[in-house]
Amino acid sequence: MNKEVICTVCPRGCHINVVGTETTVENLEGYGCKRGIEYATNEYLSPVRILTTIVKIEGVENDLLPVRSNKALPKDKLFDCMEVIRKATVKLPVKIGDVIVENICDTGVDIVATKPLA
Q: Which parts of this chain interact with ligand SF4 (CB under 6 A)?
A: 7, 9-10, 12-14, 31-33, 35-36, 39
Smallest gap from residue 28 Cβ to ligand SF4 (A) = 10
Cβ density class 65-96: b for 16+ within 10 Å, e for less? bebebbeebeeebbeebeeebeeeebeeebee
Residue nearer to ligand SF4 on the CB measure, 13 or 116: 13
**Smaller CB separation from ligand SF4, 7 or 100:** 7
Minimum distance from residue 32 beta carbon to ligand SF4 (Å): 3
Kindly state the smallest distance separating residue 37's Cβ from ligand SF4, in Å: 8
Residue pair 55/64 in contact (Cβ under 8 Å)? The answer is: yes
Per-residue burial over 101-113, b = 16 or more CB atoms within 10 Å of its CB, e = otherwise: beebbebebbbbb
Give the nearer residue to ligand SF4 in terms of CB position, either 39 or 44.
Answer: 39
